[in-house]
Structure 1
Amino acid sequence: MVMHSTSVLSHTSGDQALASIKRLEKLHKAIEEETKILKIRAYSVFGESKESEDEPDESLHHGGNYVRWGRTTCPSTSWTIYKGYAGGSFYKHTGAAANYLCLPRDPQWSEKAMGEKKKQDSVAFVYGSEYILAQENEGFFGSEVNSGGDDVPCTVCGVERTNILMIPARTSCYDGWKREYTGYLVAGHRDHAAASEYICLDENPEATGAPRNENGKLFYLTVGKCGPLPCPPYDDGRLLSCVVCTK
């Protein structure tokens, strides 16, 4: 009986030890994740890691990056690489570049570029961007964004995670992914000559400068159209959301 009791106690102690180890491992992982978040927040404030002058924390400089369209700041889970102005080709130009650009606020010029300006018939153009809202969407973004003419800011954000995915028609990420920001799918107008692309505009966009309505690369809200797009689950004419996720 004594030997049996000793065996039971040993087995119980072993289970307790394993449970304690698992709890410690979970706590260690939680502390590690919280430390990473604190480092990221410190980096976003100071711009550099302050741990050691001789050995900077290189972990903050690896990973991926994404553009937060329509905002001048990055989420708390990331750090700011640079702030900028959204831009691209003019909406009426055929053959113009399709992509949107996040142009930094502090441009630099090479020595050759500082020389004589090129003739404007042999170059591509880059313009700023503006929000364009249809009359029925007036006030959709509140008082921050004018229905026509407000300029679009952008911020390039750095994250430790290397996989970055923009998911259209979603407001949350799939399992295993971390949400960076949610928003609305935007693109150029369907009837404009210049090509464009779909990007994710933050759900609470800001504006820069006074509204001038000078056009340029334009941001239009996007809706789904039934036909080849199955309805349901989609809904004809409903504005499409989007979410930027990292892993």
Structure 2
Amino acid sequence: MYSSGELYVLVFLTCVALVVTQEGDKLSSSVRLLINTIRSNIDSLEKELETEGLMCTDNDHVKTPDDTVTGAVYTRWGRTSCPENGTELVYNGFTASSYYTHGGGAPNFLCLPMEPVWADFDDALSSTGDFLHGTEYEESVPLSRFFGEDLDDKKAPCAVCQSMRHKNVLMIPGRTSCFGTWSREYTDAKPETITGQAANTNGALLYFVEIRCDSLPCPPYVNGREVPCVVCTN
């Protein structure tokens, strides 16, 4: 990284070189030697500036500390928007996975975009392989007790978000707050639903997860207690 004084010197030398180009035929040999030295120094400085990423071109700009941060990307399940904390929406869509009684297929839930772009396809229904289905909130305990409304059989949306402040993302089960210097993006509360999609079609299902103390230490965990989670960035 160069100080403003060093950059000023580079600009000055560049100006001298321009004058030299215009007046070159009128100069003595000693002055020409000085000119060659200046030009060599300019070339050296330009190479170092390019190495440091500080040299501007038509398609580039001087880098700032913010330019070096690659934002963490995560999926916010059950919501159509991203937290209002310096996070941008990449896209939103539909939570999908395999049918709840089928083995194989999608190992995790997927966030299918609302505007798919197809490759080669065949619309004939297959009798083999596995299939993607929409995802319902499913009641193992009364969902209104936790969320203030009945979500049973309603379909779950999703949103893919990018933090513009942090580059690392971590989901922590069993907590609603983050550790240390990690910042909370969201915790699982106030889920949304897809409008007009409330039929009991099953498909993929979202249940609460409960603690079982047969092989987990209790305390600190409690048998039968629903497990929260939090998504953190750093």
For the pair 1:222 / 2:226, whether they are aligned, the reply is: no
Deviation at 1:118, TM superposition (A): 4.7
User: 1:64 — aligned with what?
Assistant: 72
Structure 2 distance, partners of 1:224, 1:135, is 14
User: 1:96 — aligned with what?
Assistant: 105
Structure 2 distance, partners of 1:83, 1:59, is 25
Segments of 4+ moved more than 3 angstroms: 54-61, 135-139
Structure 2 distance, partners of 1:236, 1:121, is 42
Structure 1 distance, partners of 2:161, 2:182, is 17
Aligned residues: 171
Alignment of 1:1-247 (within 5 A): 59=67, 62-77=70-85, 78-110=87-119, 112-113=120-121, 116-143=122-149, 145-146=150-151, 148-160=152-164, 161-183=166-188, 203-210=189-196, 211-247=198-234
Amino acid at match of 2:71: G
Structure 2 distance, partners of 1:61, 1:103, is 27
Describe the SS at the equivalent of 1:120: coil
Amino acid at match of 1:156: V
* TM norm structure 2: 0.67
Q: 1:60 to 1:70 in 2, by over 3 A?
A: farther
Describe the SS at the equivalent of 1:129: strand
Q: Percent identity?
A: 41
Structure 2 distance, partners of 1:94, 1:62, is 36
Structure 1 distance, partners of 2:128, 2:140, is 35
Amino acid at match of 2:182: W
* TM norm structure 1: 0.63
Per-residue CA distance 1:38-96 (angstroms, 9 max, x = gap): xxxxxxxxxxxxxxxx7699949932200011111100120000011100100011233
Amino acid at match of 1:67: T
RMSD: 2.4
Structure 2 gaps of 5+ residues are 1-58
Deviation at 1:97, TM superposition (A): 2.6
Deviation at 1:140, TM superposition (A): 2.7
Q: 1:55 to 1:71 in 2, by over 3 A?
A: farther
Deviation at 1:164, TM superposition (A): 0.6
Structure 1 distance, partners of 2:124, 2:137, is 30
Specify which structure has the higher proportion of strand: 1
